[in-house]
Chain A
Amino acid sequence: MNGSGQWTRLIRNRRATRNVLAFSLLAALLLPLGNACSRMELSPEFVTSLESIAGVNDKYFKQQWTLLNYGQGGGTSGEDANVVNVWNQENFGQGVLVAVVDDGADIRHPDLLNNLLAGGSYNYLTGSDDPSSTDPDSGTALHGTAVAGIIAAERNNRLGIAGVAPQVQFVAYNFLESNTDVTEVDAMTRNISSVFISNNSWGPGPVGYGHFRPSSSAWRTAIETGLSTGRSGKGTVYVLAAGNGAFSPLGELGDSANANGYANFYGVISVCAVDDRGEVALYSEPGANLWVCAPSSSGLFNRTDVTTTDISGALYGYNKSGAAGEMTDRDYTKTFGGTSAAAPMISGVTALILKERPELTWRDVRQVLARSARKNHASSALWRQNGATPPFNIHYDYGFGVVDATAAVELARTWTLVGPMQTHTQSQASGAAIDDTGTAATSDIVVAGSGITKIEYVEVTVDITHTDWGNLTIDLKRSGSVTTSSRLLVAHKCLNDSSTEIDCTVTGNTFRFGSARHLGEAADGTWTLEVFDGDALNGVTDGKTGTLTEWQIRIFGE
């Protein structure tokens, strides 16, 4: 995107006429400076004007490049979530309830308090409705406070920041403080008839060590409960951070988002992160299961992170006394980031979408986000188009691209609701050998008469016996008129706590992968699974072999 991208997008909005007129005048005065003019060089007066045009008086709004990026901090103008136009349409997420499922939250924070649904939160340690930390020094509630601010901080209260959906209501559940299979289920289903959006800026650990991290069947059943009964049957929208482990401690490929059994489930929106230049954040995990990205920290020391709410006061939080590189106002932090910060951006935009069209189901929301996503990092040669009509742009780092709130809300306005969801499940026994030379073990499943003309998600469960799953690369391919492929797994190392390479093991010898890349395609046709020793192709032979015992494809769509 060039430097005038923000202007173009603002001007496209027909409803924000008065602001756009003023903006256009300002832009007309300044654009002759040329696109080469870095937004960093813009005068403070321009920035002040820009903020007044955005209609925001929050003190640190100019630091919120994720919402309005005019190049502050060295980023690229326009590389943001494009929310200001939505606000100009008086859409602030009113009437939408978001659950922040995290480590708690400072619900008395002055920038959050007015958007809290009183009595709706839950503390798993005390059983009370107050998920503020009982011991802030222990590092609890600070993460959830930061996440909540990105979604729900009040706008135009002359305090610190504005959330993406600054009039949304939120509740906070501190499930991470009592993290077990049982509390996972509870946190996904608590107050589910009322919860529009469940934000989950967490994932299975450890981060970056390459391990397969399945979800429990109870958690998946809980998600399905929310999809079928949440929001009075329209389905709760589950938003999950895709993960921050792209780099291992050895500086190599660490985790893939598709080895995360939570983020690769069909019922969730898996969120990746891009930096303030619209390129993949260094830590953001790649995968065929990624849905959309949102702006967040870059993963570099010298770049701008995310400004959001912090536990009030100087004693606790990210920004407590003595914290390096922080703001003087201890109620806020400017060092937040990761896919933890990207997920709540998507939750906030989803709130704006559901304010515009509350009748959208969870499946409609997913498709609106995908269809309206912006193709970022256009110079990347790794973008592909799938076989949908019209095709979706797909990328292993970016899913369908970066969220665009204005485009999403505009699309939601005219979106035709999806029909009933159909599922096609088919299994195939194989027995094909996985040798140590890189020759693929292949197996076909021919899908016929599925009745699914528009795929929404594909899950592949493989049953493989192999000493080291880290050797394996797994592709799902289609043949015929549609040839979209999904690389489900890439050969990589698994590490122990000492960062020594160990065999990657999968308990039960089965693992489920997901792919968003076939969105909108018809399901019928030949699907081929290829499993090969990816290490062997890189010249590494270790004598480890295995067998593709069986695999199953589950196609969701209409």
Chain B
Amino acid sequence: MHGLRRLIFIALLSFSYANAQEEQSHMHVWFEGDVRHEAHLQPGLVAEFGPSSMRGASSGLQKLAGTTIVKRSPGATIYRLSPAAMQKMASLPTSQSARQSPVFRSSPQGGPLRALPGGVLVTFQGNLDEATARAWSQRHDVEFDRLLPLAQSTVVVLKSQPGVPSLTLANRVRLLPEVMSATPNWWTEKWKGPDLQKAQPGNATQLRSIREQTSRRFSD
């Protein structure tokens, strides 16, 4: 089953390469309530999740020829894989702790990276206890994971495979009558400081001047 999922995932990425010019084929849709969002697949990019120590080395992604690390970001490492490297992914041993997903952006041109580590957040109208949520899950043939302790609404997390399957599941579940919103559990880019690009002393005056111009643009 796991191997099948990997094959589907690789096939999807390979397909992405083959049709790089056909943006529509890379566009996926997800919803936050009734608000429609686009997610544009980034051909050749793969996000790997899990503990930092388990990413790359354990999955073997780092060792594949034609694989480069695009970005190390909190919670995920983003790789660029050549088409050949993606084919080779199929033969790698499956890591127990690392998971992979295709990578998306909100626009075909660029923007913040996002990926799908698995799971769907389902928001219900009113309060549900865990037993009710589990029963609801069973009734609709979805796998209950946990209840999030929120005051204003009930949010149930469903289990799903990483990648596009979680997006597909969210889009199916959102149409169920009791559901207010169903969104895939996204990984999104985060920063933590202080990896600042400090200005050299020689540029200080110039940069201070540019910074002041920025401030003035905000002021009326």
Residues of A within 8 A of B (CB): 102-103, 125, 134-135, 138-140, 143, 176-182, 185-186, 189, 192, 201-207, 209, 211, 213, 216-218, 221-222, 224-225, 228-229, 241, 243-247, 251-253, 256, 280, 282-283, 286-288, 297, 299-302, 305, 335-341, 380, 382, 384, 396-397, 475, 485, 487, 490, 494-497, 502-503, 505-508, 510
Contacts and interface: CB of A to CB of B under 8 A. Distances in A.
Main secondary structure of the interface of B (DSSP, over half): mixed
Contact of B152 (A143, A224, A283, A301): A224
B199 A297 contact: no
Nearest to A251: B210
A178 B73 CA distance: 11
Contacts, number: 228
- Give the residue among A139, A178, A246 with the most B Cβ atoms within 10 A: A178
Q: How large is the interface on B (under 10, 10 to 19, 20 to 34, 35 or more residues)?
A: 35 or more
Give the top 6 A-B pairs by smallest Cβ distance, nearest first: A338-B193, A340-B193, A179-B75, A138-B52, A135-B53, A205-B189
B75 A247 contact: no
A300 to B, nearest CB: 5
A216 B32 contact: yes
Interface in B40-74: 49-53, 70, 72-74
A180 B186 contact: yes
Most buried by B among A204, A209, A217: A217
Contacts of A253: 214, 217
Contacts of A178: 49, 75
A301 B199 contact: yes
Nearest to A506: B106
Contacts of A224: 151-152
Contacts of A181: 121, 183, 185-186, 188
A311 to B, nearest CB: 14
Nearest to B37: A507
A490 B217 contact: yes
Interface string B81-117: 0000000000000000000000000110111110001
B23 interface: no
A218 B149 contact: no
Contacts of B153: 221
B194 A140 contact: no
A143 B196 CA distance: 13
A339 B49 CA distance: 27
Contacts of B109: 496, 502-503, 505
B148 A185 contact: yes
A338 B194 contact: yes
Contact of A505 (B111, B193, B194): B111
A503 B211 CA distance: 23
A382 B219 contact: yes
Given A507-B38, A508-B35, A203 B191 contact: yes
Contact of A336 (B49, B181, B194, B207): B194
Contact of B193 (A186, A189, A246, A341): A341
6 contacts: A143-B192, A176-B74, A228-B151, A300-B201, A485-B220, A487-B220
Contacts of A380: 215
B107 A503 contact: yes
Contact of A300 (B107, B152, B199): B199
A476 B191 CA distance: 29
A508 B75 contact: no
A350 B194 CA distance: 22
B187 A286 contact: no
Contact of A176 (B32, B192, B217): B192
A40 to B, nearest CB: 17
Contacts of B112: 204-206, 211, 213
B215 to A, nearest CB: 5
Interface string B144-176: 000011111101010000000000000000000
A177 B74 contact: yes
B161 to A, nearest CB: 14
A244 B152 contact: no
Contacts of B157: 182
B95 to A, nearest CB: 14
B193 A143 contact: yes
